[in-house]
Amino acid sequence: PGTVNGCCDMAEYLNTPLTDETIAKLSVGDVVYLSGLVYTARDAAHKRLVEMLAKGEKMPFDFQGQVIYYAGPCPAKPGMVIGSVGPTTSGRMDAYAPRLIENGLKAMIGKGLRDDEVKKAIVKNGGIYFAAIGGAAALMSQCVKEAEVIAFNDLGTEAIRRLRVENLPLVVAVDSKGADIYLKN
């Protein structure tokens, strides 16, 4: 795979759902282009998901091998699938992420540092954390080919959406071994 420093000449092209084998091959700094289904969810939706897990309720989607994109898309303009869809600061989800990872979630997309509990859950469960390009929400929206609200419609932009993306540009920020791009020298 390509790296941020080596740029994108050998980027990895991945499709969801992600497998343990695919994730294990990736290292911090690798550039990837992700295609397939991803799910948007921010802090309000995460809180509800964790509450539902605690009650033993059925989840709105199967977490196994799946990816959550920490984003609250803007409304779509006429003729568009979705509005701007940039990453939200991931730390807002740190209180909830370990529980979802323990229940099969494989990857998260966001921006910024993750706390130690999230990184421990990533390593223990063979997960990964991708950084998306902050400030380029309009560009990111061009990678979304389909969008559908699947849960918590009352949360508006924070509702859970199923997106079909093509070649969403990402960088591995925390790999399955626990290396962290934000803590590199």
99 burial class (0-12, 13-18, 19+ CB within 10 angstroms)?
Answer: middle
| Three-class SS state of 23 | helix
Q: Which residues fall within 8 angstroms of residue 145, CB to CB, at 6 or more apart? A: 81, 164, 165, 166
| CB neighbour burial string for 27-38, b if at least 16 within 10 angstroms, e if fewer | ebbbbbbbbbeb
Assess whether 96 carries a catalytic annotation: no
Q: Which of 42, 46, 119, 161 is catalytic?
A: 46
Whether the Cβ atoms of residue 130 and residue 45 lie closer than 8 Å to each other: no
Question: Nearest-CA neighbor of 69 among 152, 131, 27, 22?
Answer: 131
Q: How many CB atoms lie within 10 A of CB 77?
A: 11
What positions carry a catalytic annotation? 46
